[in-house]
Amino acid sequence: MQHAVRIAGPTVAKIVLCGAPNSGKSELAVELGRAMRKHGKHPTAIIDDYTKEISGRYDLGVGVQGSYLVDLAVAVERLAQEYAAAREGSEHFIVVGSLAETSLNCEFEQSDVSWAVANVIMPVWPLMRRSSGDHTTYLLPLGDDPSNFETTLYENMPLALEGLMVPYAALPIEHKDMWVDYILYETFGIGDVPNPSQD
């Protein structure tokens, strides 16, 4: 397990969980949020389900069933929910999904406009990634019995993250029971978790 960029005891932190659909991002976010509150890292906001907000609001498909405009709406909604949580007093943020998935969805739609939008997103990434504090990004492995789309998206995630200049750590499936402790250590310096790759 590689190390993400270490933040030494921030007062405000943003943790981004990215990966293919059905990789367990939402479940990990809930478990991580519970552990953060236990260690006094609260109030903590979990930013999730914004794709459902967009789909329900406009009665449109999202992801591979969507369009480039829907993808952009999802990216903006995600950022808007972060700012709304900050206004409400949240000091820490767990964000499920990232602009990497959004840009890949644009590219997978295989149209000239979508390709252009995917490339336009990259220069504005510094704006889109803004939050109340620094953040680390973690890439989850594929879930059980992944579809071809999920596999393709996962295989392209490292390239998307690197293209967006986002430092990240890949979470290996064989150490799933250590994910929460590992993220707490990498982000807040809580605990003493060894690097599993050295085991």
The letter for the amino acid at 175 is H
CB count within 10 Å of CB 61 equals: 13
The full DSSP string for 16-50 is: EEE-STTSSHHHHHHHHHHHHHHTT--SEEEE--H
Give this prediction's pTM: 0.81
Three-class secondary structure of residue 92 per DSSP: strand
Is the domain covering 13-190 a CATH 3.40.190.290 domain? Answer: no
pLDDT tens-digit readout, 68-88? 677 778 888 888 888 888 889
Per domain, the residue ranges of the chain are 13-190
What is each CA distance from 60 to 19, 20, 38, in whole angstroms?
Answer: 22, 20, 38
CA atoms within 13 A of residue 198's CA, in its CB half-sphere = 5
Tokens at 59, concatenated: 């009665």
pLDDT tens-digit readout, 156-177? 999 888 877 778 899 988 888 8
For residue 148, with 0-12 CB atoms within 10 Å meaning exposed, 13-18 middle and 19 or more buried, which class applies?
exposed
More confident residue, 107 or 188: 188
Quick one: pLDDT at residue 116? 58
The letter for the amino acid at 4 is A
Cis peptide before 158 (omega within 30 of 0): no
pLDDT tens-digit readout, 2-55? 444 433 344 568 899 999 999 999 999 999 999 999 998 888 899 998 888 887
- Whether the CB-CB separation of 59 and 176 falls below 8 Å is answered with no
The full DSSP string for 92-115 is: EEEEES-HHHHHHHHHHT--HHHH
Quick one: pLDDT at residue 125? 59
Chain-centroid distance of CA 166 in Å reads 11
Quick one: pLDDT at residue 140? 95
Instruction: Report how far residue 42's alpha carbon sits from residue 33's, in angstroms, rounded to the nearest whole number.
Output: 9
The full DSSP string for 149-163 is: HHHHHHHHHHHHHHH
What is each CA distance from 175 to 12, 140, 160, 178, in whole angstroms?
Answer: 27, 11, 24, 5
